[in-house]
Structure 1
Amino acid sequence: MSKVAVLGAGSWGTALSIVLADNGHDVRLWTHRKEQADEINATYRNEKYLDADIPEQIKSFYELEKAVDDVSAVIMVTPTKAIRDVCKQLNKILKHKPVIIHASKGIEPGSLKRVSQVICEEMNQYNYEDITVLSGPSHAEEVGKRQPTTVTVSSVTGSNAEFAQDLFINKSFRVYTSTDMVGIELGGALKNIIALGAGISDGLGYGDNAKSALITRGLAEITRLGASLGASPLTFLGLPGVGDLIVTCTSPHSRNWRAGNMLGKGYKLDEVLEQMGMVVEGVRTTKAAHQFAKEQQIEMPITEGLYQILFNEKTPKEVVEQLMRRDKREEMDDISAFLSAKFPQ
């Protein structure tokens, strides 16, 4: 079995640590807060983030150098805003070259880099083909209870994806492989934007018709942007695309849905973030996707509407009316164009 460091002791990092421990691995769960590490080691609980018993073979560390000493794999599960800083620290202290797998879902505003790009940019020993990503429809709360969950791991190097698959797969956590890193990362990041919108729709008191339309047209936006950046459109029909959309847009477990729900009920963004007490990745990703859409000249009306709500103080009802009054058009024209370009007859 492997010695593995999981960097990030939030709900998702804790849940993935449980999967790895169930597979017999020696797991080191890192947090930058000493009091959190002490709580986990003393009680085998991480009460703030996940309601689950933590197996005894998981040890928590607050000193990064000790956490990654002599490990064969590093699983990065920190918020995307912390990835660059953590990589800079790793670059200074790593004395060997463990496999790096990241399970963070976001895009860096400003640079518009995906997490894999940030990692290999900051770490001297690693190239893009060295990085693996794990993504898919996976609430930490359910993973921690060993409820059936299915995800995808992706690397441009097949052996890295197979290593990650073997590391995680078990009877309650099924893992598929893919080589479409771009699509897997973008699907996992962009679905958080649509989940904010789904929460807003529910917060406004709208029904299933509205949310179904939002998810479907949101998938079209994700596919348009993803295909323009080199992803396969078919990736967005899989687990990290439509699968992650469904689970994130329809469940109170979803942080982004909960944040959107509060926005729909009239709370301001600052109030929402303060009450959540945890990172809401969709907020940062909306800013990044809005910038992406302008640079790529891709039409993303739902993302544009959410950007106006989050950063320009438009009310949710104003944005809904704006979306419903858009010019009439053929539903599949834009998606058909991308599919024709990718898969010519």
Structure 2
Amino acid sequence: PVYLPQVQLPDHLRVTATLSDVLNESSLFVLAVPSHSFRQSLEDLCQTLERSGRDPKESTIIWGTKGFDTASGKLLSEICETVFGDIRYGVISGPSFANELANRMPTALTMACPSLDDARELARWFRVNYTRVYYSDDPVGVQLGGAIKNVVAIAAGISDGLGFGANARAALITRGLTEVSRIGTALGGRSETLMGLSGLGDLILTCTDDQSRNRRFGLGIGKGKTIQKVQQEINQQIEGINTSAILYRVASQKQIEIPITEQVHQILCEGADPRHAVSALLKRTPRAE
């Protein structure tokens, strides 16, 4: 495999590159694809189900993808509903690096569905002796927390790449949480969800550990490398790039104040100098916390 080549797959797990191979064996499908591939993956699955004579609406779709639809800026649950219609779905998210999870290291996650009963039932599928899975009926909040934190992680990486130290990183994470809460609640998420595993938990993990692609991307930018150079070095999708543009647009429309996200957008999309962007944050008019 390209990713996690050192991980030994269980003997009972059958691997296939053909979607139709799995249709006769399951009605529950778990997607773990980049956000730019999410819609196409759903459409392929739906069409394959229809060709096999099965009703796609009788399936259950779960995904671990974090981000927005690249083309439309919509939540992935909205894309799922567009492709499949009224279907049972769930999103599983939280502070989790794939490598640690694959190596069976202790991890806590949240399963979210529109129905709390569905979330409780689907959470059982992911409970093993090294995971604890909570359940929630706020899929909007869980998705938003997992997406927005990527932008803050880029900011934290840029700050560390510039050598600004631990104080600056702590400030960015703390004020970044404020932005997660502001825009997350404005878009329909619940504040308690954003303060949980899929919001605060994922934010802390992604901003502080170099396993995070978004943090590593920010580190490279802070050290003076070009966007293209860092993307080539990481060679995986950096979800926070697209997310920063989407959040900047939404915040402008809804008049939501998200200064950290705005500066990340200025750096990535308008060529602003990272050091000047940090200075712009520090020079903002003092206000009550």
TM-score under structure 2 length normalisation: 0.94
Q: 2:15 matched to 1:60?
A: yes
The equivalences for 1:1-345 within 5 A come to 46-94=1-49, 95-96=54-55, 97-109=58-70, 111-124=72-85, 126-127=86-87, 130-331=88-289
Native 8 Å contact 1:309 1:316 kept in 2: yes
One-letter amino acid of the counterpart of residue 227, structure 2: L
CA distance in 1, matches of 2:46, 2:2: 31
Give the counterpart letter for 1:115 in structure 2: L
Q: 1:267-315 CA deviation, whole Å, 9 max, x = no partner?
A: 1111111111111111111111111111221111100100011111111
Unaligned 5+ segments in structure 1 are 1-45, 332-345
**1:321 is paired with a residue of what secondary structure?**
helix
Q: Compute the displacement of 1:67 (Å).
A: 3.1
User: Percent same amino acid at aligned positions?
Assistant: 37
Over 3 Å counting, the alpha-carbon distance change for 1:252 and 1:171 in structure 2 is same
Alignment check: 8 A CA contact 2:38 2:69 kept: no
Measure how far apart 1:51 and its partner are.
3.2
State the distance in 2 between where 1:67 and 1:264 align: 44
- Cα distance, 1:109 vs structure 2: 4.2
Deviation at 1:191, TM superposition (A): 0.5
Shift of 1:141: 1.2
Is the Cα contact below 8 Å between 1:108 and 1:285 reproduced in 2?
no
CA distance in structure 2 between the partners assigned to 1:302 and 1:330 by the alignment:
17
Q: C-alpha displacement at 1:111, in angstroms?
A: 2.3
**Greater mean alpha carbon deviation, residues 156-165 or residues 263-272:** 156-165
Seen in structure 2, the aligned counterparts of structure 1 residues 306 and 68 have a Cα distance that, compared at 3 Å, is farther
1:210-232 Cα offsets, whole Å, 9 max, x none, are 00000010110110011111211
**Shift in CA distance, 154/48, structure 1 to aligned 2, threshold 3 Å:** closer
**85-94 or 74-83, which deviates more:** 85-94
Q: Kindly state the Cα deviation for residue 250 of structure 1 after the two structures are TM-superposed.
A: 0.5
Give ranges in structure 2 of 5+ residues lacking alignment.
none
What is the alpha-carbon distance in structure 2 between the residues aligned to residue 252 and residue 52 of structure 1?
20
Cα deviation for residue 98 of structure 1 reads: 2.3
Q: Distance in 1 between matches of 2:5 and 2:107?
A: 17
RMSD, matched Cα:
1.4
Provide the secondary structure at the position in 2 that maps to 1:113.
coil
Q: How far did 1:69 drift?
A: 3.3
Residues 284 and 51 from structure 1, CA distance in 2 versus in 1: closer, same or farther, beyond 3 angstroms? farther
- Give per-residue Cα distances to partners, 1:133-173, cap 9 Å, x unaligned: 10000011111111110000001112321222110112201
For 1:266 and 1:135, locate their aligned partners in 2 and report how far apart those are by CA, in whole Å.
32
CA distance in 1, matches of 2:241, 2:13: 32
48 and 175 in structure 1: CA distance in 2 versus 1, 3 angstrom threshold: closer
AA in 2 matched with 1:214: L
